[in-house]
Amino acid sequence: MNSAGPPRILHIHSTFDSGGQELRCARLINAFADAEHAIVSGDPARRSAAAAIDRARKVTWPAFPPLAGKPLPGRLKRLAEAMAGYDLVCTYNWGAMDAAMAHTLFADVYKLAPLVHHEGGFNEDEALGLKRGRNLYRRIALGRCAALVVPSRTLERIALETWQQPRLRVRLIPNGIDTRAFARAPKRDALPGLVKRRGELWVGTMAGLRKAKDLPALVSAFSSLPEPWQLVIAGEGPERGAILAAAESHGVEDRVHLPGFVAQPAKVIGLFDIFALSSLSEQFPISVVEAMAAGLPVAAPRVGDIGVMVASENGPFLAPPGDRPALAEALTRLAGDPALRKRIGEANRAKARGDYDESTMIERYRALYWGLMGRPRP
Domain boundaries, the chain: 8-176+358-373, 179-355
Phi, psi of 10 (to 5 degrees): -100, 125
Looking at the predicted structure, is the pLDDT value of residue 182 above 80?
A: yes
User: Is residue 140 within a helix (H) or strand (E), and if so which, with residue range?
Assistant: helix 132-141
In the predicted structure, residue 1 carries a pLDDT above the cut 60: no
Q: Each residue of 348-376: pLDDT tens digit?
A: 999 999 999 999 999 999 999 999 999 98
Mean confidence (pLDDT) of the chain: 94
Q: Domain 179-355, what architecture?
A: 3-Layer(aba) Sandwich (3.40)
Instruction: State the Cα–Cα distance between residues 268 and 294, nearest whole angstrom.
Output: 10
CA distance 2 to 376: 14
Angle (CA) 174 176 177, round 5°:
165
- In the chain, the DSSP E strands lie at 8-13, 36-41, 58-60, 88-92, 115-118, 147-150, 170-172, 201-206, 229-234, 256-257, 274-276, 298-301, 318-319
What would the mean pLDDT of 293-305 be, rounded to a whole number? Answer: 95
For residue 159, give the DSSP letter. Answer: I
Q: Is the distance from CB of 273 to CB of 203 less than 8 angstroms?
A: yes
Which amino acid is residue 228, in one-letter code?
P
Within 10 angstroms of residue 157's Cβ, the number of other Cβ atoms is: 12
The Cβ-side half-sphere exposure at 61, using a 13 Å CA radius, reads: 12
Q: Is the pLDDT of residue 50 over 70?
A: yes
Res. 283 pLDDT band, cuts 50 70 90: confident
| Alpha-carbon span 278 to 327, nearest angstrom | 8
> Phi, psi at residue 8, to the nearest 5°?
-110, 120
Query: Hey, how many other C-beta atoms are within 10 angstroms of the C-beta on 225?
Result: 21
Q: What is the pLDDT of residue 350?
A: 97
**3-state SS class at 90:** strand
Would you state the pLDDT for residue 281? 85
Q: What is the mean pLDDT of residues 211-235?
A: 96
Residue type, 16: F
Q: How distant, in Å, are the alpha carbons of 210, 274, 292 from that of 288? A: 17, 11, 6
Phi/psi-derived region of residue 367, left when phi > 0, alpha when psi is between -120 and 50, beta in every other case? alpha
pLDDT digits (tens, 9 = 90+) for 118-175: 998 776 666 567 889 999 999 999 999 999 999 989 899 999 999 999 999 999 999 8
Least confident of 65-79, 123-137, 239-253, 319-333: 123-137
What's the pLDDT score for residue 3? 64
Greatest C-alpha distance within the chain = 66
17-26, 175-184, 215-224 — most confident range: 215-224
Confidence label for 111 from pLDDT (cuts 50, 70 and 90)? very high
Reported confidence tier of residue 331, pLDDT bands at 50, 70, 90: very high
Chain CA centroid to CA 158, Å = 18
Higher pLDDT, 184 or 243: 243
Phi, psi of 197 (to 5 degrees): -85, 155
Give the amino acid at 68. Answer: A
CATH class of 8-176+358-373: alpha beta
What pLDDT is stored for residue 126 in this prediction? 63
pLDDT at site 121: 75
Q: How far is CA 227 from the centre of its chain?
A: 32
The predicted model gives 25-37 an average pLDDT of: 96
Q: How far apart are CA 29 and CA 47, in angstroms?
A: 15
> Contact at 8 Å (CB) between 289 and 309?
yes
Sequence-separated (6 or more) residues with CB below 8 Å from residue 31 = 362, 366
pLDDT band for position 284 (cuts 50, 70, 90): confident
Answer yes or no: are the C-beta atoms of 200 and 255 closer than 8 Å: no
3-state class (DSSP) for residue 160: helix
Q: What is the pLDDT of residue 271?
A: 97
Which residues, 6 or more positions from 342, have their beta carbon under 8 angstroms from its beta carbon? 295
Domains 8-176+358-373 and 179-355 share a fold: yes
pLDDT score of 125? 63
